[in-house]
Amino acid sequence: MTGVAASANSSTGHSAADGSRRAIAFYLPQFHPIPENDAWWGKGFTEWTNVTRAIPQFKGHYQPHLPADLGFCDLRVSETRAAQAALAAEYGIYGFCYYHYWFTGARLLERPFNEVLNSGQPDFPFCLCWANENWSRRWTGSDADLLAAQTYGAEDDRAHIHSLIPAFADARYIRIDGRPLFIVYRASHLPDPRATTRLWRQEAQAHGIGELYLARVDNPGEDNIRPEEAGFDAAVEFQPAWAALGPPKGRSGWRRLSRSLGLRPEAATDRHNIFEYRELVERMLARSQPSYKRFPCVTPMWDNTARRQQGAYIFHGSTPQLYEHWLEGVTRSWRPPSPGENLVFINAWNEWAEGNHLEPDLRWGREYLEATRRALRHAINPPETVNA
């Protein structure tokens, strides 16, 4: 291992021996215009374009989600990225996991991370998750119009890992026992994942990075496959865990729920998939752990009606208190297999068009961040119970 990689571990590692957990928030870089989105969606398109178009689908439905402290930020601005990192660190977030988009050598939405890497600022830990899906108009409910396609091959695998060497060598890069963590969102899309992961490990070694720590995200159809069978060291849970949700409320179930909440039952029953956030929390806390190594994940809320006018997934009734209960429960029950594997993921820092963010909004302010800090502290040091 090179001196850079070796010294980086000491600056970005916390041991689980003291009960600590490293909370890592997924980070979406789509808050700045790029030529491709201008062509596909209209001049000046960013994620904010979707966010500001959202409207409530029924009485009591929380939409739109509008930003508070950081405003409608532009991720090309270094002061914005510094403010995000400072805010995350203040409330106990250990680092960001940036979504990374690679299409046979072409990068999309790469500017924010490239500037973080090249400038050395902010001084805040990070890792990367390769979002290796085709880009289509699925956001609008259609997969038919393909915008950017993924293709795979050994030479592309080699070029891809070479492009990541500067990030892996950075002192801020998140490591597990000295090994840079790299996550693949759709491992099942790789034609030969064992060949890909083997090549990546060999190339990282050859370039002085040392051994990689490779993880794949648990997605439906992949969550019964042991990561090591595909050449990975571990899995990362994704929330909401779609395959474990059960049926949405829709129709009769939604009508019963709507009556109990005093809502109009006819508004969204046939157009959207509606769940209760409270049920998600209860179901996930009761969910059994797999036999393989998997890092846990929680989500503060989820509602992607900003992207989908039909077929959205809405988790109704999220509150900071329910989210705190979930995060504290998961963090307390999670037993890292080794001191360095003390990661807990949060989905997400800034997925605004999925109604899925820790960044402050006009409705809740910093309450979800405050809940995050309390949950992480209480999971390790439970507050004293005062007898009445």
pLDDT of 105-123, one tens digit each? Answer: 999 999 999 999 999 999 9
Position 379 confidence tier, pLDDT thresholds 50, 70, 90: confident
Q: Looking at residue 258, what is its pLDDT?
A: 59
Cα–Cα distance measured from residue 113 to residue 299, given in angstroms and rounded to the nearest whole number: 23
Q: Looking at residue 383, what is its pLDDT?
A: 73
Tokens representing 376 are 């992480």
Is the confidence at residue 54, as pLDDT, over 70?
A: yes
**What predicted TM-score, i.e. pTM, was given to this entire model?**
0.91
Q: Looking at residue 264, what is its pLDDT?
A: 52
Per-residue pLDDT averaged across 133-158, rounded?
A: 82
Q: Tell me: the pLDDT tens digits for 183-215?
A: 999 999 999 999 999 999 999 999 999 999 999
> For residue 68, what are the CA distances in angstroms to 3, 75, 187?
42, 16, 36
Is the confidence at residue 3, as pLDDT, over 80?
A: no
Is the confidence at residue 142, as pLDDT, over 80?
A: no
Segment among 18-22, 80-84, 164-168, 271-275 with least mean pLDDT = 18-22
Q: Looking at residue 18, what is its pLDDT?
A: 52
Is the confidence at residue 246, as pLDDT, over 90?
A: no
Q: Tell me: the pLDDT tens digits for 297-306?
A: 999 999 999 9
Per-residue pLDDT averaged across 305-320, rounded?
A: 93
Burial 179-204 (b: 16+ CB within 10 A, else e): bbbbbbbbbeebeebeebbebbbebb
Cα angle for residues 87, 177, 375 (degrees, 5° grid): 35
End-to-end CA distance of the chain: 57
Position 11 confidence tier, pLDDT thresholds 50, 70, 90: very low
Tell me the domains of the chain and their CATH numbers.
Answer: 3-55+63-247+295-301+320-377 (3.20.20.80)
Position 177 confidence tier, pLDDT thresholds 50, 70, 90: very high
Alpha helices in 286-354, H assignment, sequence order: 320-333
User: Coil, strand, or helix at residue 26?
Assistant: strand
Q: Using the 8-state DSSP alphabet, how is residue 173 labeled?
A: B
Is the confidence at residue 269, as pLDDT, over 50?
A: yes
Is the confidence at residue 251, as pLDDT, over 50?
A: no
Q: Looking at residue 286, what is its pLDDT?
A: 95
Per-residue pLDDT averaged across 30-43, rounded?
A: 95
Is the confidence at residue 12, as pLDDT, over 90?
A: no
Per-residue pLDDT averaged across 283-301, rounded?
A: 95
